[in-house]
Amino acid sequence: MNRIEGRVKVTGLATYAAEYPVEGVTYAYPVQSLVAKGRIARVDDREALAMPGVLAVLSSERPPELAPEAEGELALFQSREVAYRGQIVAAVVADTYENARAAAAAVRVEYQPQAHDVHLSAEHPGLYRPKTVNPGFPSDTGHGDVEAGLAAAATTIEVTYTTPVLHNNPMEPHASLAYWDDLGRLMVYDTSQGASSGRDIIARTFGLPPDAVRVVARHVGGGFGCKGTTRPQAVLAAMAARETGRPVKIALTRHQMYDVTGYRTPTIQRLRLGADADGRLTALEHVAYEQSSTVEEFAEQTAVPARVMYGTPALHTAHRLVRLDVATPSWMRAPGECPGMYALESAMDELAYAAGLDPIELRVLNDPETEPDSGLPFSSRDLVGCLREGARRFDWERRDPEPGVRRDGEWLIGTGVAACTYPARRMPSKAVVAAQNGEFLVQIAAADIGTGARTVLTKIAAEALGVDPARVHVEIGDSDLPDAFLAGGSMGTASWGSAVFRACEDFQRDGKEGHADTAEEIARDAEMARHAFGAQFAEARVNAVTGEVRVSRLLGVFAAGHIMDATLARSQFIGGMTMGLGMALMEETYTDEEFGGFLRRDLAQYHIPANADVPGIEAVWLEEEDEGLNPMGSKGIGEIGIVGTAAAIGNAVFHATGHRVRDLPITPAKILMPRF
Amino acid sequence: MRQFEYVRAASPADAVRRFAPGTMYLGGGTNLVDLMRLGVAEPGRLVDVSRLPLDTIEPDGDRLRIGAAVRNSDLAAHPLLRLRYPMLARAVLTGASGQVRNMATIGGNLLQRTRCGYFQDVTRPCNKRQPGTGCPAIEGDHANHAILGASDSCVATHPSDMAVALAALGAEVHVTGPGGDRVIPMPGLHRLPGDTPERDTVLEPGDLITAVELPAPPPGPSAYRKVRERASFAFALVSIAAVLDLRDGVVGDCRIALGGVAHVPWRAERAEEALIGGPATGEAFLAAAEAELEAARPLPRNAFKVPLARNLIVRTLEELAS
Amino acid sequence: MNITLQVNGATRAVDVDPRMSLLDLLRERLALIGPKKGCDHGQCGACTVLIDGRRANSCLALAVAMDGSEIVTVEGLADGDALHPLQAAFIEHDAFQCGYCTPGQLCSAAGMLGEPGPSAVTDDLRADPDLTPAEIRERMSGNLCRCGAYPNIVSAIAEVTP
C-alpha cells in the first residue's frame, strides 16, 4: 500500500499552511532585534506606516493584548526587554508580501543595549542544576560509587565530547494563516505537529476557550521537533488578523527560522568510564553542559540514555544548564538520545580500544538484565540481536581493528559501530469511527509530518475492522477532530494507533459508530522500561590529501517492536540516519559571540546532506513481539534512526585514520590540522 | 527589497546607454536577486542583459569565444569545451546545482560576490558592503575565508569555480562600457581587497562584460579539483585548476590557480616559477607549493587551508605528471 | 508592470510588482502552490520549475524578467489524470515523506533527464555518460530533502531513465 496522500503530493495539490486560498489575505513580516540583550527604547514606525500597502505595524510600543497566561517566546510584544538577537520585536502587515517586507526594513527600533553573554562553557559561573530535564526526567541520577569504580578499573577513559548548535531545518519554513470568523472564532492554518495541542496553546495565549480556536494542519512539510510546539508566527498571524480585521499570512524566511523556531542546544559532555580486565563496566559517569535562554528553560536530556544502556555497579548522570542571551533551544529529532548517544557510544569505542576488546563484544558484555538506573524490567530489549545481525551483514568478523591501515588510493577506509536507543511511549488520544454505505470514516486530530501517519492509521483501522483498506478513510490534521497527542517523541503511531484500534473495537459492538479515549487504559499501563534499540554500522572513507570524509555505507539494524509498514518504516529509519550523517560531517550553526545571534543562517552555509552524500544506506529490523506496549505491539521509529549514526561514523573515521575527532562536525579542517 | 525600475536592454550599447548611478545589470539573477532580497544590493534600476545576443560559443582558429550571456550549463555541455578545455568544463560542472547552472550566465559567474556571512547580513558590519564599518570575520566566523592576499579590511574569498579555471587558462574578458571597449586578461579582472574591499574587480561603473575569450588550449594535461565537506552543491573550501606540460621529464609550461583561498582566483605564480624548467618530482612539487604558501596568513579557524592547498597542489601535479 | 507568460500551457497576462519573484507570482497570484518556497535563495531546489524547458529556481527569477517565457510547474507534468512517469515512480518508490521538496524534485528530475553532457562525477568529460545512480545523485543534488528520501528518489528516477 503506497502513501495515501501520494497523489496529491506528487501533483502539487497537497496544501501546506501558507497555501490555503483565503479571500482578501494580507501579509505579515517580522522585524527582529539587532541587539542580543537590552531594552527597546522606542519603535519608530512612521516611515513604515507611510509606505505603500501598509496596514499596521505591531510592536511593544502599543502592545496588542494577550492573556496573562501568554508565556515565553509566544508573549509577543508584551515586554520591552530583548532576550536575544533575532527576537521578534515588531511586525508589519501589508497588502502584499513585497510591501510588507520592504516596510519591515523601514521600522526603526531604538535599543538601550546591555552587554551580552552567548558563550557556553563547562566553567560558566551561571551553570546550575535544572529541576528536571525534558520532558520531566530528574536532572541527576546515580547509584554506586563512581570514584571507587574508576579506581578499581583495569581500564579507564576520561573524555570530553562537544556538539554544536544544530537546526532542524524542515524543508517547509514555519508558516501560519489566521483569521477571525464572523462569530469571533479564530481559525489558524498552521504548520504544526499537533493540532490539538496547538489549539490549546493558542487559546491560552489569547485567553480564549479552546473551542473558540481551530487549528488545521493537513500537510506539514517536515518538523523534526521544531513544529511540535506553537511558534511565534502563529500568534503573530492571529494577533495581526485581529488588529487589521483581515486574514493574515506569515511565512518565516529560512533565516528567521534559525532565530525563532528552536534548535538543538550545543553540548559539552564529560564522560568517565571504567572497565575491569574482562571488559565489564565498573563505573560510568556522563555529565552534560548545555544552554537555554533567559526567556524559558529548556534542558535537553542528553545524559538520560546512559541510564538505559549498560549495566554498571556505579552510575552517575547529570545535567548542568546556563541561561544565556540566546534564543530558546527546543526539540530536535531525538532530543537527549541524539547528542547523548553520540558521546556515550564514541566513548564506548574508545574504551573498547583502550581495553583491547571488540566494540561489539564490549557492548554485549555489558548488556543489562534490567534497566540500569531504575531497575525496571524491559518490555523487550534486543540490542544484542541488532549488533549480531549488523555484524553479520557488515562482515564484522573479518574486520581488522587496527586503525589507519586500510587504503584505497588517497582514501583511508574504516568501519565503526554504535548502539542506539529511543523510548517507546504512548499518550492519551481520542478517536471516532463511523460507517456509511460500506465505507469507514476514522477521525482523529493526528498529524502527518511525513511519517505516513494517514497510511499507517488506515492499515490499523482496516485490520481492526477486518475490511479492505481502500474502504477506510482517515481524517487527521484538524483540531475539530477528536483530541490527539502530537507527532513527537516517536509517540504518534503508538498513541493514535491505540485510540484508532480501540475505537474500531468499540465500533464492532453495534457496527454504527465507535469511540475511544485511551487515557484510562494508558494510566493503567504497568511500570516497565520500554525502549527501542538498534545498532548502526558505518564505513567511512577519509581522504588523506583533502581531509574530506565520505560515508560509503551506512547500515541500521533496529529492534522496534512490530513494524507495521515496511516501506514507511524504512523511509523513517534511513531519513533519521541521513540526518545523523549530516550531524556527523557538516551541520553546524555558528554562535556570533561579538554581536549575539547566529551566523550561517541559510542552507548554503548550514549544510544538510545532499543526494550525493548518501550513496549507500540500508535499514533492516528484527521483528519483536512485545505485549507490554500497545494493541499494535509497536515502538516508535521516527527518532531512533538519528541516534548513534554520528558515533558510528566518528568511530569509523577513527578506524580509518587513527585520529579521534571529539568535536562535531568532523570537517576536513579537523582531519587535516592534527597532522601539523 | 527596495522598489526599482526594470528594463530590458536591446543591445550591449543600449545597456550601457541605460546605465546611470544606482543601475545594475541583471544576468541570470542567481546571485543578484539573492543579494537584493537580502538588502545587500539595492539597485534603483535593473538593466536585464540576459537576453542579449551574447549567448553563442564560437571557435576562432584555435581560440574559443564565449558570449557573456551563455548559461553555465550550456558552456559545460559544449563539445568543444569538453574536448579542448576539460579543466574549465569540470570547474563549471562543480559549481552550484543543475538549476543554478541553467540560469547563471558566464558574465554573472565572474561577477558573483563573496558568500562571507557578514557581507550577506545587512545587520552586521562589513567593510565590503559598508566601507569603514569593520570586518568582524577576522575575529569571528572565518572558517571559509582567505589565507592569501587578504587585508585588515577584508578576508573574504571569491566563490567562483569557473573563474579559477579561467585564471589558469589566461582567458581574456571582453568589456564594453562608457569608456569604450577593452580586454582584461585573467586573473586581472578581480582585485585584492587592500583598503578598498568594496571593489571586487577592476571594472568601472557601467562596464559590461560581453564575452570571455579562451586562448588556444595550453599543452599538457589539465585538471580541476574541488574540496568540500558536502559532496555536492557547496562552495569550495579550496579548489585547484592546474595544467602541466612535461618535456623529457622537465616542466615546460605550468599553470596553477587556486580557489577558496583569496579575494581573487589566485594564480600561483611563485609555484609556477619554481617549477618551470625544473624536474617533475614530488620534492619539486612540494617545494613549489611551499614557496607559494609562504605568503599565507591564515586565521585560527581557516589555518587548515594551508596544508589543504599544499596537499592539493602536490597531489594534482603528481597526477598530471603521471 | 504588465507581462505575459505561458504557464502550464495557458497564456497568463499579469500586472506584477518588479520585486516579485516568479515563485511568488505562481504561488500568490496564479494559485499554483506546487512550486515551494524552502529557502528563497536558490539553496534548496524546492521551487524548481521548468523555464523554457529547462529546470530553474523560480525563487531567483524575477517575474518581470520572465515576460514571454514558458513555465511548467509540477501541476503541468501530468497529462490530465495520467501521471507523468516520474510522478508514478515517486509514489511507487516512496520517494518522499513530508512532500514539501517533492514538486521541486519532480520538475528537477524532468529537466535533468533532458540535459545533455557530463556532470561533475563523470570521469571522461568527452563521453555522454549513462545515468548511473552516482550520476543521478550528483545531478539531483540541487534538490535538498530533509526527510532523507534520497535513495528512493534515485531509484524512482532510475526506473524512468531511458
In this structure, the strands spanning A132-133 and A108-113 are unpaired
* CB nearest A594 (choices: B140, B229, B302): B140
Give all chains having 3 or more CB-to-CB distances under 8 Å with chain A: B, C
Q: Which residue type is seen at A363?
A: R
Q: Which residues of B touch C54 (CB under 8 A)?
A: 73, 102
Question: For B34, what's the count of Cα atoms within 13 Å in the CB-facing half-sphere?
Answer: 26
B42 touches chain C (CB under 8 A): no
For the question of an ipTM over 0.85, the answer is yes
Q: Which residues of C touch A9 (CB under 8 A)?
A: 96, 99, 102
Q: Which residues of C touch A18 (CB under 8 A)?
A: 37
Please tell me which residue of chain C has the smallest CA distance to A169: C146
- By the 8 A CB rule, do A200 and A215 touch? no
* CB nearest B143 (choices: A546, A611, A669): A669
Please tell me which residue of chain B has the smallest CA distance to C16: B6
C73 touches chain A (CB under 8 A): yes
Chain segment A351-383, per-residue pLDDT in tens: 999 999 999 999 999 999 999 999 999 999 999
At CB < 8 Å, which residues of chain B contact A?
1-3, 39, 115, 117-118, 121, 123-124, 136, 139-141, 143, 227-235, 237, 301-304, 307-308, 311-312, 315
Q: Does residue A665 have a cis peptide bond before it, meaning omega lies within 30 degrees of 0?
A: yes
Chain segment A199-222, per-residue pLDDT in tens: 999 999 999 999 999 999 999 999
Kindly report the pTM of this predicted structure.
0.98
- Across the interface, whether the CB atoms of A172 and C17 are under 8 A apart is answered no
* CB nearest A668 (choices: B3, B233, B308): B308
* CB nearest B97 (choices: C62, C118, C141): C141
Dmax over CA atoms of chain C, in Å, equals 48
* CB nearest B1 (choices: A102, A607, A667): A102
B73 touches chain C (CB under 8 A): yes
Please state, in angstroms and rounded to a whole number, the distance separating the CA atoms of residues B29 and B71.
11
Q: Which of C15, C71, C135, C150 to mutate to test the interface with A (most CBs of A within 10 A)?
A: C150
Q: Which residues of C touch A610 (CB under 8 A)?
A: 141-142, 144
- Across the interface, whether the CB atoms of A668 and B307 are under 8 A apart is answered no
Q: Which of A1, A7, A8, A11 to mutate to test the interface with C (most CBs of C within 10 A)?
A: A11
Q: How far is B183 from chain A (nearest CA, A)?
A: 33
* CB nearest C141 (choices: A224, A451, A611): A611
CA terminus-to-terminus distance, chain C: 42
Say if residue A498 is exposed, middle or buried (CB neighbours under 10 Å; 0-12, 13-18, 19+): buried
Chain segment A559-600, per-residue pLDDT in tens: 999 999 999 999 999 999 999 999 999 999 999 999 999 999
- Across the interface, whether the CB atoms of B230 and A675 are under 8 A apart is answered no
Q: Which residues of B touch C57 (CB under 8 A)?
A: 30, 99-100, 103
Q: Which residues of A carry out catalysis?
A: 639
pLDDT at residue C162, rounded to an integer: 78
Q: Which residues contact A151 (CB under 8 A, 6 or more apart)?
A: none
Mean pLDDT of chain C: 97
Please state, in angstroms and rounded to a whole number, the distance separating the CA atoms of residues B104 and B111.
11
Which residues, in sequence order, are bridge partners of residue C6? C11, C70
Q: How far is A116 from chain C (nearest CA, A)?
A: 29
Please state, in angstroms and rounded to a whole number, the distance separating the CA atoms of residues B246 and A260.
58
Closest CA to C148 of A642, A51, B70: A642
Chain segment A97-136, per-residue pLDDT in tens: 999 999 999 999 999 999 999 999 999 999 999 999 999 9
Instruction: Name the grid cell of B127.
Output: 567593510
- By the 8 A CB rule, do A225 and A21 touch? no
Q: Is the pLDDT of residue A81 over 70?
A: yes
Q: Which residues of C touch B99 (CB under 8 A)?
A: 42, 45, 48, 55-57, 108, 111, 142
pLDDT at residue A676, rounded to an integer: 41
- Across the interface, whether the CB atoms of A546 and B308 are under 8 A apart is answered yes
Q: Which of B230, B239, B306 to mutate to test the interface with A (most CBs of A within 10 A)?
A: B230
Q: Which residue has the cell 541559510?
A: A602
C38 touches chain A (CB under 8 A): yes
Q: Which residue has the cell 581587497?
A: B193
Question: Which portions of chain B are predicted below pLDDT 50?
Answer: none
* CB nearest A548 (choices: B39, B117, B227): B227
Give all chains having 3 or more CB-to-CB distances under 8 Å with chain C: A, B
Q: How far is B70 from chain C (nearest CA, A)?
A: 14
- Across the interface, whether the CB atoms of A221 and C98 are under 8 A apart is answered yes
- Across the interface, whether the CB atoms of A665 and B229 are under 8 A apart is answered yes
**Burial per residue of A190-215, b for 16 or more beta-carbon CB atoms within 10 angstroms, e otherwise:** bbbbbbbbbbbbbbbbbebeeebbbb
Chain segment A25-59, per-residue pLDDT in tens: 999 999 999 999 999 999 999 999 999 999 999 99
Chain segment C24-59, per-residue pLDDT in tens: 999 999 999 999 999 999 999 999 999 999 999 999
Q: CB pairs below 8 Å between A and C: how many?
A: 174
Q: How far is C57 from chain A (nearest CA, A)?
A: 14
Which residues, in sequence order, are bridge partners of residue A324? A293
Please state, in angstroms and rounded to a whole number, the distance separating the CA atoms of residues B33 and B38.
9
- Across the interface, whether the CB atoms of A611 and C140 are under 8 A apart is answered yes
- A658 φ/ψ sector (left φ>0, alpha ψ -120 to 50, else beta): left
Q: Is the pLDDT of residue A674 over 80?
A: no
Chain segment A502-554, per-residue pLDDT in tens: 999 999 999 999 999 999 999 999 999 999 999 999 999 999 999 999 999 99
Residue-wise DSSP of C120-150: TT-S-TTS-----HHHHHHHTTTS--TT--H
- Across the interface, whether the CB atoms of B90 and C125 are under 8 A apart is answered yes
Q: Which of C141, C143, C145, C157 to mutate to test the interface with B (most CBs of B within 10 A)?
A: C141
Q: How far is CA A194 from CA A190, A573, C96, in A?
A: 10, 22, 21
- Across the interface, whether the CB atoms of A614 and C150 are under 8 A apart is answered yes
Q: Which helix (H) or strand (E) holds A348?
A: helix A337-355
Q: Which residues contact A202 (CB under 8 A, 6 or more apart)?
A: A186, A188, A208, A213, A215, A230, A234, A235, A238
- C99 φ/ψ sector (left φ>0, alpha ψ -120 to 50, else beta): left
- Across the interface, whether the CB atoms of B229 and A585 are under 8 A apart is answered yes
